Amino acid sequence: MDAKAHKLDHDIVEFINQCREQEHPDSYLIAVLHKVQNRYGYLDKEHMAEVAQRMQVPTSTVSGVATFYHFFRLQPKGKYHISICLGTACFIKGADKVLDAFRTELGIELGETTADELFSLDSSRCLGVCALAPVVLINEQVFSKVSAKQVPQLLNKVKEQELV
């Protein structure tokens, strides 16, 4: 990543400035972090420092909030981010086995990214599509009723797309 990538994009800076004009400006910190993560995929240290400086809150507050909420990632994601729902319904329908299959196939643990940065693996709390359990989210796409057996196939499909 080049040095420039560590500077927040103009529109995010603009958003921060707008927030600063609202009542209770500090209350927008989480919203700002959402925007940053949306753009860059994770919360980079230098981005957080810039957020702290622009919002005029201590860096420790920013990192405190970033580490408190599971939704925020402090490491880059893979190109394909796999998120396995471990909500109740998915668990009852065998999501733990699906997760194991992904672990074995990719050779990474939860929260890690493969060496080629193609895949990262995460679990999520209930995605709210319990009726279609177990559910796996690859980037924005929802795969429903996934079984451990389908996992290699699923990954192959993604990899094929990658080659095209």
Determine if 69 is a binding residue for another protein (CB under 8 A). Answer: yes
In this complex, which beta carbon is closest to another protein, that of residue 133 or of residue 155?
A: 133
Burial pattern 53-90, b for ≥16 Cβ within 10 A else e, equals ebbebeeeebbebbeeeeebbeeebbbbbbbbbbbebb
Determine if 33 is a binding residue for another protein (CB under 8 A). Answer: yes
Q: Site for another protein (CB under 8 A): how many residues?
A: 38
Residue 5 DSSP label = G
Residues 82-121 that bind another protein (CB under 8 A): 86-89, 91-93
Determine if 28 is a binding residue for another protein (CB under 8 A). Answer: yes
Beta strand 119-124 with 136-138 is: unpaired
Residues composing the chain: 164
Nearest residue to 31 (alpha-carbon basis) of 67, 64, 72: 72
Determine if 142 is a binding residue for another protein (CB under 8 A). Answer: yes
Which residues of this chain interact with another protein, rule CB under 8 A? 24, 26-31, 33-34, 61, 64-65, 68-72, 86-89, 91-93, 124-133, 135, 142-144
